[in-house]
Structure 1
Amino acid sequence: MTALPAWWEPLLSRARQARAGDFTRLHRPEPGGRVGAVLVLFGQDATGEPDVLIIQRPRTMRTHAGQPAFPGGAAEPADADAAATALREATEEVGLRPGTVTVLATLPALWIPVSDFVVSPVLAWWRAPHDLHAVQVSEVARVARVRVADLVDPARRSQVRHPGGWVGPGFDVAGMRVWGFTAGVLSRLLELGGWAVPWSAERIIDLDPSDAPAGPRVVGSGWEPPVP
């Protein structure tokens, strides 16, 4: 394998040792939950700075309308593992060429109560980036590569409050407000990578009800890192 850029450490070593409790306070039901995976694809721009692939769902979708997300979805019987699911979904959604990607780690499976999905984030290195576009326009409205430098900018960070009472990390980047599961995973990865800088958790933004899917009331953030 081609040598990884230096910025992958300490993220990769820490991610490989991570447990579900490092990402969420919610406990996966046993048994239960539909199995899925998402691709957390890190590349780097022309200056050598890291970025991550984020898509935005169309506002016409029945669920997750307009919400930023990682590429991904439900597992299919032919998928060998979570990595196969994540790569297949990214190929179908945005035209990713799997041969340009090196899968580095599969993070612990995380339960999303509102959809009853048990999702495994798959951490990968995009060693040969290429142009992407919305292949499944019914599921993808836009595709963006978001710089880590923008994600850690304190002016772009906030806590987002769902009308049902849920509060969790948020990012305002690339013309999108990233929140929910995606923001929670990103927030923790920034910590693991040693990239995060102090920001004001007192900045709370109320999510527009039109952007908020219905679901069970969850008071407190399910995706905040546990208190040390």
Structure 2
Amino acid sequence: MSGRPDGLPGWWEPLLTRVGSARTEDFTPLRPPASGGRASAVLVLLGEQQPDEPDLLVLQRAATMRNHAGQAAFPGGAADPADADPAATALREASEEVGLDPASATVLTTLPELYIPVSRFVVTPVLAWWHAPHPVHVRQPAEVAHVARLPVAELVDPANRIRVRHPSGWVGPAFQVRGMLVWGFTAGVVSALLDMAGWSRPWQPGRLLELPDTPVTVPVASDEVVT
């Protein structure tokens, strides 16, 4: 996207400039396959409830999902043939999953394609400014268990940053914020963006949480409205 939209908060810099030259390697060592994979997109939506206090919209997948069950995630999913581009996919999915009004979000840029081997998704993260925040809620209980706005100040709090180890042996960064455990693909993207924005604070990666074989769930009523 050329230029900057009117009213864009100052905290978007240096993040917005930095992601303009970001590479896949800045987020993951995994390269998308030369062919195959399922085209998809996720919405990395940053807004604010108070001036200069950015937050991030996330959801938690239902425990019954075939892929990524019980995990915290960005709104998003597989591309439809009718989607014009990754931004259209991400906004459509966010509308279907949590009732986001696409007109309330200003797409700023897309990040490099990232690959998730377990589901064979080739994911394009779409970075957007929630210029007109409004209440959101779970619209598809079969796919989404919970939706939340996580303050960046809490994401960067060293007390909320840990590492997790999957039963497969994989170890990666994670966040424990407001009853949610953010790990895996989503935590990797969040961690990289916090670094690019200059928001990260020093933390000790000594805390290691062993992930259970079953999905990690949070007991929240599916009709909860998040403002």
TM-score by length of 2: 0.91
> Structure 1 residue 29: deviation in Å?
1.0
Query: Hey, what does 1:109 align to over in structure 2?
Result: 113
> Structure 1 residue 192: deviation in Å?
0.4
Query: Hey, what does 1:217 align to over in structure 2?
Result: none
> Structure 1 residue 169: deviation in Å?
0.6
- 1:78 aligned counterpart, secondary structure: coil
- Read off the aligned partner of 1:205 and give its amino acid letter: L
After superposition, the CA RMSD in angstroms is 1.0
Measured against aligned partners, the alpha-carbon deviations of 1:42-63 in whole angstroms (never above 9, x if no partner) come to: 0012243000001011112232
Q: Flag structure 1 segments of 5+ consecutive residues without an equivalent.
A: 213-228
Is 1:50 paired with 2:57? no
Q: 2:93 aligns with which of 86, 89, 92?
A: 89
Q: 1:72 aligns with which of 68, 76, 82?
A: 76
- 2:115 aligned counterpart, secondary structure: strand
Structure 2 CA distance, aligned partners of 1:68 and 1:205?
A: 16
Q: 2:211 aligns with which of 184, 207, 214?
A: 207
Is 1:147 paired with 2:151? yes
Percent identity, aligned pairs only?
63
Measured against aligned partners, the alpha-carbon deviations of 1:42-89 in whole angstroms (never above 9, x if no partner) come to: 001224300000101111223222111000000010111100000000
- 1:209 aligned counterpart, secondary structure: coil
Is 1:13 paired with 2:17? yes
TM-score by length of 1: 0.91
Query: Hey, what does 2:219 align to over in structure 1?
Result: none
Query: Hey, what does 1:176 align to over in structure 2?
Result: 180
> Structure 1 residue 8: deviation in Å?
0.3
Query: Hey, what does 2:222 align to over in structure 1?
Result: none
Structure 1 CA distance, aligned partners of 2:205 and 2:86?
A: 33
Structure 2 CA distance, aligned partners of 1:122 and 1:48?
A: 21
Query: Hey, what does 2:164 align to over in structure 1?
Result: 160
Measured against aligned partners, the alpha-carbon deviations of 1:14-47 in whole angstroms (never above 9, x if no partner) come to: 0121111111111111012111000000001224
